[in-house]
Amino acid sequence: MKKVWKIISGLITIVLFLNLILLAFVVISSKASGGEPQAFGYQFKSVLSGSMEPTFQTGSIIVVKPVEGENKKKLQTGDVITFVDSQKRLITHRIVETKMSGQHIMYETKGDNNNAADKDLVLADNVRALYTGYTVPYIGYFINFAQSKEGSAILLIGPGVLLLIYAGISITQVLRELDAKSNNKNIKEKVS
């Protein structure tokens, strides 16, 4: 039974420690980027509306690759892009048509779930990222919570406190076992 408990104890320690590292990464990455977390040159964007359903659901996380320089002018019909609109909001919609306005390339976009195209054209310079095709459902709610002050505090402090409590329990058990062995040794010495 003690071997089983040691295995379970080791697994719990590993899970709590990995959870602490993962949550610290999410919170720190979110704060450092001023928005969603980033890793290996990719950004993770939370889906806040249903305009792109069924491609991705509200509350999902999508993985996007930042688009820079001349690559902003090489996007094609069907690409799903993240862009800044006239109100400085980040929006992710599909390109339905490419248009020229003098020397400027502009994209007409539309949410897959919307009845009509967006009213404003998107200037190529306002494109920020290209959707990679990877989506993780429901994690967006968690990322949004992690970005709040309360969420950051809870997600960084909570697992650390749990790890300390668990360490305290483990240390107490080891001390009890050592005490029991010491008492057994003393009894055997008195008997002999």
Catalytic positions: 49
Write the DSSP assignment of 155-185 as a string of letters.
HHHHHHHHHHHHHHHHHHHHHHHHHHHHHHH
**What gap in Å lies between CA 11 and CA 57, rounded to an integer?**
33
**What gap in Å lies between CA 127 and CA 150, rounded to an integer?**
32
**What gap in Å lies between CA 180 and CA 121, rounded to an integer?**
76
What SS3 class is residue 150? helix
What SS3 class is residue 92? strand
